[in-house]
Structure 1
Amino acid sequence: MEAQDTEELARFRQRWKEELKHTKEKHIETIKPSDVPKDQQSSSSAEVRDAVVQPVPVQRHTPLEQYTLAVQYEQQGLLDEALTLYRQSFRRDPNVDKAYHREEQKKAIAAHTFVQPKHPPAESSSSRPALIQTDAHILDLKHLTITDDTRRPLHAVLANFPHDLVFLPEDDNKYSPFRLLPEEIVIHILIELARINDTTTIERFASVSRKGRMLSLDGAIWRDLARRIYIPPQIPESLTVDDLVSAYKEDYRRIYIEQPRLRLDGVYIAVCHYVRNGLSENHWVSVTHLVTYHRYLRFLPTGEVLSLLANEDANPQHIIPLLKPELRMKGFMIGRWCLDGTTVYITELLDPGSQPAKYSFQMTLNLKSRPLGRWNKLDLAAYDSVDVATGEASAFTLKHERPYWFSKVRSYRW
């Protein structure tokens, strides 16, 4: 009985193998190798191997890159792909369109940055309009005429501004009441900011929109400011502000930015260090002390300068409010200052609380600007003691001295 079962099982296995072999041969005949070119067979096999070995890389884009790609697809007429990318980018960043427009504006400004040619062609006065018509006011652009002497990247950008300049809200779904404000009122507000020397707010307003930039260039805003600042001792006695106006082609904003001036709305501070050897009971131990001290310079519009040398025990936060002509403390002196180009001369530095002194002090500093228009750095070039009786000057070594950096103080008004 067992032998019969074994024979039936063997016959069943044999029939199953034959049916499986017949089915496999029939499937191979449906796709013959002769029907496919050899090069296609090799490429297909290579693709299959690559697909098996190397996974398909997943490209990850930022919302801005997706939005940029969607714009390109839309321009090419691939609307379905563009719509899909638009949805994905807005889903990840609701303000991606604003970021895209900001990037486009940066590219446009960089593309229009002027490069001075070797032989620039003569530009006629009719190449650009002298007036720009806005909502309710005509802006006079005569002071922005682009010439070979006053050509700047800003002027090149302004030349490409559209004529219909308006204030647009950041959110398109909201209305901007600022748009209804007459331009004369806006300019008057900017003039009032200039009277309190708040030029930072003026420039921040100018960065809001193109129209804000155009209004911030009005000559009335910068005229009073320049004429109030550039008087002796900010300029030599032999020079007048009218000479500067002529040199800068009546561009008062350029005068304020490029003409050297000492900042009167704060204090210049130098943080200095030196190492002093200490004492130790053990000969094999060397003790050193790092000593920090501060130098302060506050320039007053009257031509006086306040100088203070204070050690690290005097915190600058406590010293700055006290830095006035009425101050009486060790290291405090009052002198006179004048500015000639970028060179600052400080003379007659004396202690106001002492008896007639035998010696006075004088400084020579170089005024620098980092970045342009700040005029926020003073390098000490010379420091002398002067014999009051003979006028003989003796120079100090400047081994530990460091540059002065400007710090604005809100309570300082002039």
Structure 2
Amino acid sequence: MNQPGGSSGDDGGGGDGGDDQEESSSSNLNVEDALASFREQWQRELEISPKRDLHKPNKTSNIEAIEEELSIETKAKNLFLKGIEYEQNGELYDAIRFYKRAVQLVPDIEFRLYESTKPKAREKFDKDENKIIFERDRDDDDIDDEEEHEDGDLLTNLSKILAKSQCVCSPRFEQSTMHISALPMEIILYILRWVVSPDLDLRSLEMFSGTCRGFFISARDPEIWRLACVRVWGVNCGNFEPKYRSWRDMYLQRPRLRYNGCYISKNTYIRHGENSFQDQFYRPWHLVEYFRYIRFFPEGRVLMLTSTDDAQSCVNLLKNRYPRNPNILIGYYRLHENRVTLMLKKQETRSNNNIYRKKRKEVAHDSGEQTFHVEFEIQTNQKRANFQLNWVRYNIFTKYKNGQEGTTCLNSSGRYPSFKFTRAKSYTQESEAPLQ
């Protein structure tokens, strides 16, 4: 009895365990199906969502946007160019209409159009010499080769190059502001007249010409050098032909004076000493040194100063045409060939001595009014043209108050040392008017 009951009990227990396993496996399958369907739905939602496009850039859309922008810019440029054509033809109303349409498409279309048409300088690196050669375009290489092989005047060759480039100069680096190359030749020549000024500062003009080939040609303008010659020798200076090749050659080769400095002469003489009980430093002889300074102005005015002071202070006293120092002689000069003749007088000073006259009469010494007539010869000194003035004649004319006149002729041959020219930088720092 016990065995069948036990076996039956075991069978019953085994049947119940199989049912539980079937139920658990079916529930697992349902969960996996639900998860799989959720994943599929989630993937579909991610693909449809617009946020996914932000993480994955679309190249085709970017290219289309760039092409669309370029087409709008091209259309705006065409409209702006049409407006320029209408403006040149005098049709201002239509020009404004096209300008407005172009600006509505691209607000800074004028600046973009200017940048696209502006010539850009490019760099060419030379590895052998470690130098950078800046060229305007490819044709400059051929022009430079032709310049090396072509024999002729330098000015002619550079003029041909300038005519081909149609530009005075080109910027070496990219410029954010207006460059001087944008100015027309007429404005540059007018600026050069300010550089030269009525003081004939042609040294600054020559330094300007060494900047580039365009400025070299501008500084060789015949009108500037013609005005300089007229300023030196007057309206009757004649023509440069046939003795000289150009006005510049005439100015450089013909004897003339220099105006950007002073002619200085050092003079010495020996004076006898005075032996007295008050002279503690008695010397039988004294060596006295003094200097003469002469400055010429292009309009014919001349200043002369005799002083023992240092050169710097004396040169500053001669800076103005109308000096305040009463010791400076003022006069005029005339230039003829290689001779220059000076006529100098002392400045008239107003004194108030007449107001405080004494009752008793005093005997006054009548020194008279003196006029100095001096003549110099212009010579070359150490291969520097027009740097030395040699004495030729020195006369003093005196006119007394009683009407009498007297003349003193001094022997200047070998008696007085020559004048040597010294440039003063302060004389050409400013310019008050252009050369006319």
Q: Which has the higher contact order (CA 8 A, sep 6+)?
A: 2
